Amino acid sequence: MFKVSTVVVCQIRRSLLHDVTIGRCHQCTTARHVKPKKSKGVSLRKEAHFVDYIELEVCGGKGGNGMLSFLSLPHREWAGPDGGDGGHGGHVIFKVSHNIKSLSHLRKVEKAADGVGGRTKQRHGKNASHRYIEVPKGTVIKSESGSLLASLDREGEMFVAARGGAGGKGNHFFLTNENRAPAVAEVGAEGQTRLVRVELKTMAHFGLIGFPNAGKSTLLRAISRARPAVSAYPFTTLNPHVGMVLYDDHEQVAVADIPGLIPGAHQNKGLGISFLRHVERCLCLVYVLDLSTGVDRSEQQRLSGGLSPFAQLTRLRYELEQYQAGLSHRPGLLLANKMDLPGADRKVEELKAKLQEEEGKSEMSSRGYQPLKVLGVSAKRMLGINELLHELRAVYDQYHTASDGEGS
């Protein structure tokens, strides 16, 4: 019997994957994690929260008023009308830029500049500059009723959200042979005003899902430069934080810390709907299960129901399915956090046994559940972090690259 080396198998796999435009093999991922550099001369940097959904009012600029004026010259008292036209108001335009990753820079009211009014001696007012608002790639703009207005998916793509008003005409515009002294001028038109909903299709490649105090924020701090608040009380994270994981082939993987979910989140308990909306915008899901169940933490036990790791996974999947059918079917990983606690190894083995038992059932496979790889980590003690970073890249290469190939 001839033995085929791993290198030859990977080369054959790459050649087969090349035909389906995937381009690389996730099972032979060789990219290594690069530790991010610290900021020089900056001890504390306060950053705005990541925003992936906002409702705002866009207002086009008002047109300038036309001028009502009559010219008077030496030796010619009645020289005729000389009022100029007003300038047009500016538009509010959304433009895609690769330099923007969040919607945190948007304000509740975005208004364009007004046009300049007309002047005497037939001087027209200046048109106002348009108000360009840069948004990330994959931004969706909807009306107040929820209908789709625009989907911005390409660099430099633009959408006019609110048009500016036209400038008014001065009385010189109405000069005719029949009316040599028109005493009328137009007022500039008001700009368009409407409410829009701006949201991102994708906020991160991976989303950390779990109950409060499961260790999601500590995990994100361990693998990236993101610095979400970490405390012993629940709901420390009220806004999502996104950290970038760097690799030596210059690839960047975005990981989002989703605020903790509780039983009944799909019924909007604990701000559940707004938190579940963040989960919807993650390509892959990383379930962070707390192995400290059974330890005397009354508040944490109350929020998670004192559930075992497998029961936590079942409950989290249930909440996702109740919010949106098929949301829990997305690929990802299963992390058993806090491996440094006593009895953690036994709980991980019980979790793996439960998963194998459920995978063998036909009813579970018919629901389309993805088999999840179980990793034991301790974000606080930095145990299993290197293996986690390798698995994140493997899942990223498999699913994110495949989706790009299908989209092309």
Q: Where are the beta strands (DSSP E) in 74-130?
A: 76-81, 92-96, 109-111
pLDDT at 2 over 50: no
DSSP letters, 44-73, are ----PPP-SEEEEEEEPPPPPPPP--EEEE
pLDDT at 369: 53
Least confident among 220-229, 298-307, 392-401: 298-307
Domains of the chain by residue range = 53-200, 202-407
Q: In this structure, are strands 241-247 and 33-34 parallel, antiparallel, or unpaired?
A: antiparallel
Burial of 97 (0-12, 13-18, 19+ CB in 10 A): middle
Q: φ and ψ at 332, to 5 degrees? A: 170, -155
Residue labelled with tokens 């866009």: 58
Q: How many Cβ atoms are within 10 Å of 34's Cβ, its own excluded?
A: 15
Compare 273 and 70 and report the one with higher pLDDT: 70
Q: φ and ψ at 348, to 5 degrees? A: -65, -40
pLDDT at 171: 93
pLDDT at 218: 87
Could you tell me the CATH superfamily of domain 53-200? GTP1/OBG domain (2.70.210.12)
Measure Cα distances from 251 to 32, 186, 225 in Å. Answer: 10, 57, 16
pLDDT at 51: 83
Pick the CATH number of 202-407 from 1.10.8.80, 3.30.565.10, 3.40.50.300, 3.30.365.10: 3.40.50.300
pLDDT at 363: 53
CB distance 110 to 58 below 8 Å: yes
- Binned at pLDDT 50, 70 and 90, residue 77 comes out as confident
Those residues with Cβ within 8 angstroms of residue 255's Cβ, 6 or more apart along the chain or in another chain: 204, 205, 206, 207, 208, 220, 223, 224, 242, 243, 244, 245, 286, 392
230-241 confidence digits (pLDDT tens):
766 666 666 778
d(CA 43, CA 36): 15
Find the helix or strand (DSSP H, E) in which 152 lies. strand 148-152
Nearest to 319 by CA among 304, 337, 300: 304
> Rounded mean pLDDT of the chain?
80
pLDDT at 197: 94
d(CA 215, CA 225): 16
Compare 364 and 51 and report the one with higher pLDDT: 51
Q: φ and ψ at 277, to 5 degrees? A: -65, -35
d(CA 276, CA 342): 32
Report H helices in 186-343.
216-223, 272-280, 298-304, 309-323
**Adjacent-strand bridge partners of 92:** 131, 162
Nearest to 260 by CA among 283, 232, 239: 239
Q: Name residue 195's amino acid.
A: L
pLDDT at 213 over 90: no
104-161 confidence digits (pLDDT tens):
899 999 999 999 999 999 999 999 999 999 998 889 999 999 899 999 988 999 999 9
% residues pLDDT > 70 (the chain): 76
pLDDT at 305 over 80: no
Nearest to 316 by CA among 272, 353, 359, 357: 272
